[in-house]
A and B are shown apart, each in its own frame.
Chain A
């Protein structure tokens, strides 16, 4: 079994007074695609934000390649090799597509080249000079993913990349995730759509009320539909 890349232990987090995470224990191994499933407000996004150091206060442990990052600032965490593609995509309106793409500094060797990114996402090449937010929702999502492929980060955290997109775009994003897995990236994916998650992931954690409530291998997914329905309320 591959080495653990990311391991959290009793990760708790607060937004001001509100206690969002009540002890998250997850592990992501090198080269895996792991999803966090759960309903709205269960704590999936908060888990990613807590790992990235983007939350008011956090306690517990976040180890990345064995290095403790619980007290590190978010720029240090990024430099360690973790990258986030946020739920709201975070495309900058005052930057054009190329500037958006080139914005995150390279933190390690091994990221994708611009040529490779343009092969994977031809639209980004065509629209290189458009302002970032003039792209369609799907293109913005592609840009938000492409942006962190360049940096050499080992762990890519994607927060609901399929949200609000047309089925054909969702398929394209699924293809992209399988492609980046093949290239050796490790992915931690937040999803509400477990059917989509099933097509790309190796393992799944189910999160509810700020805690991990279940853990499934992808092979178990088909037989666990009822269990999942219960958790996800769908």
Chain B
């Protein structure tokens, strides 16, 4: 019995590792959502669309400007983040005094508009984007499987960025402002901190994280207008499981659920696309605030 399981696991280990790659995207995207929710109390439904924009901007930089992957990894988050600043200043900032629901509806509407514009412009069949040459070449031999270098890079990049974000929020002065303003924004402002500007920049940072994930995704999935909306539903489930607004929670849950999905593909493939939602339902019943959330 145990030997059976071990044998199956050995055969399935590659699936588990690929699950980790998915988990890398879940982690980055739910991290951005958590950062935004913590500070703005807005559930950013446009997150998937901003992820997609990140991929498209990388594609545009290459196709129209001849600017390659590594620059795109920096520039695309900056460009999409700047777009986030405009959105926050122009629209979202008017909704802070209202119920969460309004922010959700607004960003959902924005997501539909952004996707529509991209579909109209680029069609829905998808555009190719190759990984950079330095990450191409022969796959890496992990002993039990060959993993394309690029996928390994995705996991590493996601881990590094997640860790860096966590460090900034938990260990720096800026992070202390953010945590304090999450608790009592009015008092932090009364100490002399320009809270409205901090809120705008936090939204931009969350959006930039989505765009960064989008650039990472561009060489793996084809660049198409729907790439965000199909992923974001799962990511919302990840956020609910991890607990809204918990930084560490969203990262751990992101990678964890990627692994769980991979395991499901090995042991019970029929459940692989629903296992996350089953877990979400159980967590909601047992711990409504999420695994890492504060009730």
A62 at the interface (CB under 8 A from B): no
Bitwise interface map of B from 160 to 182 toward A, beta carbon under 8 Å scored 1, else 0: 00000000000001001101101
Which listed residue, B179, B186, B190, B194, touches A92 by the CB 8 Å rule? B179
In the complex, the answer to whether B183 meets A94 with C-beta atoms within 8 Å is yes
CA distance A74 to B184 in the complex (A): 14
Contact of B186 with A54 in the complex, beta carbons under 8 Å: yes
**Are B190 and A75 neighbours in the complex by a CB distance under 8 Å?**
yes
B-facing residues in A66-80 (Cβ within 8 Å): 73-75, 77-79
Which of these, A73, A74, A75, A95, contacts B176 with CB under 8 Å? A95
- List residues of chain B with CB within 8 A of the CB of A148: 191
Contacts of B192 in A (CB 8 A): 75, 78-79, 104-105, 107, 151
Given A74-B190, A94-B183, A104-B192, 6 other A-B residues pairs in contact with their CB atoms under 8 A: A75-B191, A75-B195, A77-B190, A90-B187, A92-B184, A103-B188
Contact A94 B180 (CB under 8 A): yes
Q: Which residue on A lies nearest to B188, using beta carbons?
A: A103
Q: Is A110 interfacial (CB-CB < 8 Å)?
A: no
Instruction: Flag whether A84 is at the interface (Cβ < 8 A).
Output: yes
Chain B CB within 8 A of A83 CB: yes
Is residue B105 contacting chain A, with contact meaning CB distance below 8 A? no
Q: Which A residue's beta carbon lies closest to that of B198? A: A75
Q: Is residue A145 within 8 Å, beta carbon to beta carbon, of the partner chain?
A: no
A99 proximity list for chain B (CB < 8 A):
176
Binding site for B on A (CB under 8 A): 52-54, 73-75, 77-79, 83-84, 86, 90, 92-95, 99, 102-105, 107, 148, 151
B92: min CB distance to chain A, Å: 19
Decide: B180 and A92 in contact? CB cutoff 8 A: yes
Question: Which chain B residues in 189-217 approach chain A with CB under 8 Å?
Answer: 189-195
Residue of B at shortest CB range from A107? B192
Task: Give CA–CA (A86, B184) in the complex, Å.
Answer: 12
- Minimum Cβ distance to chain A for residue B48 (Å): 29
The answer for the CA separation of A157 and B189 in the assembled complex, in Å, is 16
Task: Tally B residues with Cβ within 8 Å of A.
Answer: 18
Return chain A residues, CB-CB under 8 Å to B180. 92, 94-95, 103
A75 / chain B contacts, CB cutoff of 8 Å = 189-195
For A76, give the chain B residue with the smallest CB separation.
Answer: B192
| Distance between A49 CB and nearest chain B CB, rounded to angstroms | 9
Between A and B, 20 residue pairs with Cβ closer than 8 Å are A73-B189, A74-B190, A75-B189, A75-B193, A78-B189, A78-B190, A78-B192, A79-B192, A84-B190, A90-B184, A92-B180, A95-B179, A95-B180, A99-B176, A102-B173, A103-B180, A105-B191, A105-B193, A148-B191, A151-B191
Please report the C-alpha to C-alpha distance between residue A78 and residue B183 in the assembled complex, in whole angstroms: 19
List the A side residues contacting B184 at CB < 8 Å: 90, 92
Alpha-carbon separation in the docked complex, A99 to B188 (Å):
13
Q: Are the CB atoms of A74 and B179 closer together than 8 Å? A: no
Q: Which of A79, A84, A90, A94 is in CB contact (< 8 Å) with B179?
A: A94
B287 to chain A, nearest CB (A): 19
If the complex has contacts A75-B195, A102-B176, are A93 and B190 also in contact, measured as CB distance less than 8 A?
no
> Within 8 Å CB of A86, what residues of B?
187
Tell me which residues across on chain A come within 8 A of B183, comparing CB atoms. 92-94
A90 to B180, CA, bound (A): 10
Q: Which residues on the A side are within 8 Å of B190 (C-beta)?
A: 52-54, 74-75, 77-78, 84
Please, how many angstroms separate the alpha-carbon atoms of A67 and B173 in the complex?
Answer: 30
Residues of A within 8 A of B182 (CB): 94
Chain A CB within 10 A, most for which of B176, B186, B187, B189: B187
Q: Nearest-CB distance from A53 to chain B (Å)?
A: 7
In whole angstroms, how far apart are the Cα atoms of A53 and B187 in the complex?
11
- Least CB distance from B239 to A in Å reads 19
Bound together, the chains give a CA A105 to CA B180 distance in angstroms of 13
Q: How far is the CA of A119 from the CA of B105 in the complex (A)?
A: 53
Please indicate the chain B residues that have their CB under 8 angstroms from the CB of A73 in the complex. Answer: 189
User: What 1/0 flags go to B116-145 for Cβ under 8 Å of A?
Assistant: 000000000000000000000000000000
List residues of chain B with CB within 8 A of the CB of A74: 186, 189-190
How far apart are the CA atoms of A92 and B176 in the complex, in Å?
10
Task: Identify the closest chain B residue to A105 (Cβ).
Answer: B192
Closest to B182 in A: A94
CB-defined contacts of B186 to chain A, threshold 8 Å = 54, 74
Contacts of A95 in B (CB 8 A): 176, 179-180
Give A133's nearest chain B residue, CB to CB: B183
